[in-house]
Structure 1
Amino acid sequence: MGDVASRRNGGISEPTENDSILINGKENFRPSHHQESGNVEEERPRGCWSAIAGAFFALIGGLSLGSVDVFVVFGVEGGIFPLQQLLVKSIIMVIVVVPLMRYHSVNLLKVKRKDIILNILKGIFEAANTLCFNYSLVYIGIGDATTIDIGSIPIMTTLLACLFLSEKCKVTDMIITIINLTGILLVSRPEFVFGTETSHKENDSLGYLLAFAAAVTLSLGALFTKMMSDGTSLLLILLFNGISGIVVTAPTSYFFSPMTLLAAFQNNPNNVGFLTGMAGFFILYLYTFNKALQLETAAKVTLIFNIQVFTGFIADTFLFGKIPTHFELIGAALVLFSSLLAFLAAFRENRTESKDVETNEALSK
């Protein structure tokens, strides 16, 4: 291929449709993988590497979203409300993604209708997820909101994947989910389990409801990603997420935000940095989380994704002055343990499948 394709692949020219390779002394033609549409069939890691890559992207996604939550809290304290934050994130995402799509030759006209519909639905539900979660942060704080949201996601995602994707829910998955849920209950200590606490506030119930609604909408978004065609461009997912966020928040933020963005920037110049950091980590989260979903089952991705809980607790402790209790520390340890078990289970399953494939190939020769 030409010089442009060579530069895009680190200086190594990508084979075209007329290129051939030798396999066992025979010439076989290899199709080109040049990206021309939003549905690009790309070679994915197999076997053990699939588990490692999927777990890595899920881990980065959880850490990134936890960092977004911290900037959200700073932004709210600086006078930028959740509706405005989502609008700014969505605008920045579209501005960043459109040139990348052009550079990588992602052609929207060649995207399947099914994938267009799924991306629109995913964008709408994830915009609702962001709004629900951001407002729950305002009512119950970053630690409780994060743990309730993240603790509910694996349960909802596993249930939806079993019902609509025919993913198998194994005994190990159930055990890991129970450990995870136990940790979440110890961390959040909801009223219906532990009774009323003296620190209970008027808006706590609304905050808990919004955090759970955020979990449901994110689980639906993960389901839509798994239902897309193999090789769907992640840039396409980012684009529709940004467009959906703009459509949802542009009119509502104008009418319901008590302060304009310009006034918020003038009153607190640090808001520019908060929004920039928030948008950057949000784009990283969307990319890595959806990449993990393309490599691994939805249930295991969301369990590993729970590392977001620790980002919230670190922020609560060192930035917002909250002292964690013994129950919270034990619960956080259980959440981390369940994420580790999910990674090991995924690694073992992929290794077993890889060995089975190698055995079958050896017997067929």
Structure 2
Amino acid sequence: MSGNTFGSLFAVTNFGESHGPAIGCVIDGCPPGMALAESDIQPDLDRRRPGTSKFVTQRNEADTVEILSGVYEGRTTGTPICLLIRNTDQRSKDYGDIVQTFRPGHADYTYWRKYGIRDPRGGGRSSARLTAPTVAAGAVAKKWLYEKYGTIFRGCMTQVGELPIGFEDWAHVESNPFFAPLADVSAIEDYMNVLRKSGDSCGARLRVMAEKVPVGLGEPLYDRLDADIGKAMMGLNAVKGVEIGDGFASVAHKGSMHGDSLTAGGGFASNHDGGVLGGISTGQNLEVAIAIKPTSSILVPRESLNTSGQPVDVITKGRHDPCVGIRATPIAQALLALVVMEHALRHRAQCGDVPVPAGFE
């Protein structure tokens, strides 16, 4: 199976299955000399991990990360960094009923048709469990980018199902299980309680951003920064839409309003383009929004087929998120960090000696 490595200069190879003994990744290309310990990575994994509230899957994984290589005496050596996360709470018997059937909306059918074999336990390789190594790798990228440029990554939920979520303050995001920028999340709790008891699921909309991004990241044609961001976000389980800046709202804009005017010192009066022009970062905040579809594994009966082509009704038992978007915020932040890290290393290699013009410091 190919397609398991993300990036070139900061290459992250993801391995493992949902119900295997362990999952993890190998990071190749991390610059040497950066202080790195498990404690730098674990907080991000704790934000993503299952079992943290009644509104997410009750699979109880500690998601404790182990650094197996690439660090000596507390600093990166420039050699591949292997990060391992052991699976400790698999319950494969929950998936016995779907070995010969295909869950609507899931990857069961496409994996079976492509490879002729699939691991049905927890979705195997297609499980959102495999986003944990991505978050771990993103934590490494975020640390280097913060130390080098002061770059900070943020994210929040802006809609769950039919319920819009307003914005009050970033400070509220870490104080509730929804990553909502609100002090009072009781309306979200009520909405999710009704949904959870019904056995159904819903989608979500998330906002992710990066502050203090250097000018000049990205290439002007095939490897545009916004194109790579789009590819990364579409690589996240259940994502069905990506917007950069104002996204689809730009359709209704006039050119006289949409263009971001330059101001003294190389600043901008607005950020309709989300921090990217011509595929290259402007130095403004990178603004990204993603749409996540409803969880495919639900208790509501649905029509499908079995491996013999016979009609069946499918009910997916087990421990599943009623909204996979709830835990997706730290994953989307990690993916954005991986893209920025890749392009930061590219830019440093090719254009590190390009001087900053006078008046644009």
Fold match, TM over 0.5? no
Task: Give the structure with the larger strand fraction.
Answer: 2
Name the TM-score, length of structure 2 as normaliser: 0.25
Relative CO higher for 1 or 2, CA cutoff 8 Å, sep ≥ 6? 1
Q: Which structure has the greater CA radius of gyration?
A: 1
Task: Give the structure with the larger helix fraction.
Answer: 1
